[in-house]
């Protein structure tokens, strides 16, 4: 049986935990159905990355951020008093062709550290990836480089390769990334992974016929605070 101390020790050493069970089959079915309604309402181009902080609008999304199995792990790592900082749905849809037959640039996420652009000090940021679909190698599952959260913040630059899904289009230069040490974090729908805000991570394009949709939730301990020179507001709860 995995205890809280086991989770905390593994997280401190590696900077991530994966896979972890969260949703029952009924909860997963309900969440997927609710998300499909958002797809119908907004369209897949919008839902791929623009459903940001919608836990403020939809009770079912807020309930995911407060799920007991999520919070058990978050509190095991961060301590009992935590703040919900931010959330976003991220979907990589199957590759499509443009009208002229030309293939689109496939979306991917470059190697980066979340703390580079979150502007938080005084405590760690913990990111949850909660899978609504199976997240596998062929549809662009998360990759991490274990232990890199202990190396501090690395330099970032504007991404050279087009298609980076990150809003700020940042990447760590490839010469600073030990890509040969990367570990894939596959998840079945309803499972989650968690990782530290300083952990180097990325994900490849979706080259499969299957959608890869996940809900990213970020938490901080109550000792954390925003850095003044990065003026960014958060709808913290």
Q: 208-217, pLDDT tens digit by residue?
A: 999 999 999 9
Calculate Rg over the CA atoms of the chain: 17
Runs of H (alpha helix) within 15-133: 25-42, 44-47, 59-65, 68-78, 115-118
The CB density around residue 179, as the number of other CB atoms within 10 Å, is: 11
Q: Domains of the chain: which residue ranges? A: 4-93+105-220
Runs of H (alpha helix) within 58-202: 59-65, 68-78, 115-118
The answer for residues whose C-beta is within 8 angstroms of residue 100's C-beta and 6 or more apart is none
Supply the pLDDT for residue 180.
94
Give the residue-averaged pLDDT of 196-212.
Answer: 95
**Can you list the positions of beta strands (E) in the chain?**
16-21, 82-92, 109-112, 120-121, 126-131, 142-144, 157-158, 170-171, 183-184, 191-196, 201-203, 212-221, 225-226
Q: In terms of Cα–Cα distance, which of 16, 2, 12 is closest to 194? A: 16
CA-CA distance, 67 to 85, in Å (whole number)?
Answer: 15
Supply the pLDDT for residue 121.
87
Supply the pLDDT for residue 1.
59
Supply the pLDDT for residue 100.
40
pLDDT in tens, 124-182: 999 999 999 999 999 999 999 999 999 999 999 999 899 898 878 899 999 999 999 99
**CB-count burial class (<10 Å; 0-12, 13-18, 19+) for 140:** buried
The domain covering 4-93+105-220 belongs, at the CATH homologous superfamily level, to: q2cbj1_9rhob like domain (2.60.120.620)
CA-CA distance, 206 to 210, in Å (whole number)?
Answer: 8
């Amino acid at each position: 049986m995995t205890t809280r101390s086991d989770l905390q020790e593994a997280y401190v050493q590696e900077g991530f935990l994966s896979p972890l069970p969260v949703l029952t089959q009924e909860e997963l079915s309900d969440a997927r159905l609710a998300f499909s309604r958002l797809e119908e309402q907004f369209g897949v181009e919008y839902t791929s990355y623009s459903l940001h902080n919608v836990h403020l609008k939809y009770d079912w999304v807020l309930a995911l951020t407060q799920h007991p199995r999520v919070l058990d792990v978050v509190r095991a790592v961060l301590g009992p008093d935590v703040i919900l900082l931010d959330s976003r749905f991220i979907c990589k849809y199957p590759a499509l062709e443009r009208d002229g037959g030309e293939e689109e640039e496939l979306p991917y996420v470059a190697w980066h550290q979340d703390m580079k652009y979150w502007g938080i000090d005084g405590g760690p940021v913990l990111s949850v990836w909660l899978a609504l679909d199976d997240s596998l190698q062929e549809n662009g599952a998360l990759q991490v480089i274990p232990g890199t959260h202990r190396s501090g913040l690395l330099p970032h630059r504007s991404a050279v390769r087009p298609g980076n899904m990150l809003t700020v289009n940042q990447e760590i230069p490839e010469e600073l990334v030990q890509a040969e040490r990367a570990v894939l974090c596959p998840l079945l729908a309803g499972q989650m992974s968690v990782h530290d805000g300083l952990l180097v991570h990325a994900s490849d394009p979706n080259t499969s016929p299957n959608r890869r949709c996940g809900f990213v939730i970020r938490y901080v301990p109550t000792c954390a605070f925003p850095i003044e020179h990065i003026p960014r507001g958060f709808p913290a709860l």
